[in-house]
Amino acid sequence: MYHHVKKLMFTVRVDEPDPRFGNMLLEQFGGANGELAAAMQYSIQGLNCEDPDRKDLLMDIGTEELSHLEIVGSLARMHLRPMKADRDAAEADPLVAIAGGGGVNLFNSMGNAWTADYLKITGELDVDLRSNIAAEARAKIVYERLINFCDDAGTKDALQFLMTREITHMRAFSLALDSLGRPPFVIGRIAPTAGLVDQFFNDSTGAGDHGEIDSRGPWNEGEQWEFVESPAFQDLRSTQPESPSIHVESSDLEDIEPLHGLLIDQLRDILHAEKQLLKALPKMAEAAQSAQLKRLFEAHLEETEAQVERLNECFDLLGTAARAKPCKGMMGLIEEGQEVIKAGEKKDGSAADLALIGAAQRIEHYEIAGYMTARNLAQQLHQTAIVQLLSKCLGEEENADQLLNQVARPLMSVSKMPASVE
Could you read off the pLDDT of 74-125 as tens digits, one per residue? 999 999 998 888 888 888 778 888 778 888 899 888 889 999 999 999 999 9
**What is the Cα–Cα distance from 88 to 44, expressed in whole angstroms?**
41
User: Do 143 and 214 belong together in one domain?
Assistant: no
Q: pLDDT for 327-386, tens place per residue?
A: 999 999 999 999 999 988 877 778 899 999 999 999 999 999 999 999 999 988 888 889
Task: Identify whether 4 is part of a domain.
Answer: no
pTM of the prediction? 0.64
Which amino acid does the sequence have at 305? E
Within this chain, do residues 200 and 174 fall inside the same structural domain, yes or no?
A: no
245 found inside a domain: no
> 89 and 166 share a domain?
yes
State yes or no: pLDDT of 248 exceeds 50.
no
Cα distances (angstroms) measured from residue 130 to each of 123, 174, 176, 178, 323? 12, 8, 10, 11, 44
If asked whether residues 166 and 208 sit together in one domain, one would say: no
Are 62 and 131 found together in one domain?
Answer: yes
32 and 162 both lie in a single domain:
yes
**Residue 360 located in a structural domain:** yes
Separation CA 294–CA 284 (nearest Å): 8
209 and 288 fall within a common domain: no
Same domain? 268 vs 391: yes
- Do 347 and 235 share a domain, yes or no? no
Establish if 13 belongs to a structural domain: no
pLDDT for 384 equals 86
Whether 392 is covered by a domain: the verdict is yes
Number of structural domains in the chain: 3
In a domain, 118, yes or no: yes
Domain that holds residue 67: 19-179
Compute the mean pLDDT over every residue in the chain, rounded to the nearest whole number. 87
d(CA 162, CA 42): 17
Residues 143 and 213 in one domain: no
3-state secondary structure of 131: helix
Same-domain pairing of 174 and 233: no
* Residue 406 and residue 262 share a domain: yes
Asked whether residue 330 is domain-assigned, the answer is yes
Which CATH number fits the domain that encloses residue 90?
1.20.1260.10
Whether 247 maps to a domain, the answer reads no
| Burial (Cβ within 10 Å: 0-12, 13-18, ≥19) of residue 67 | middle
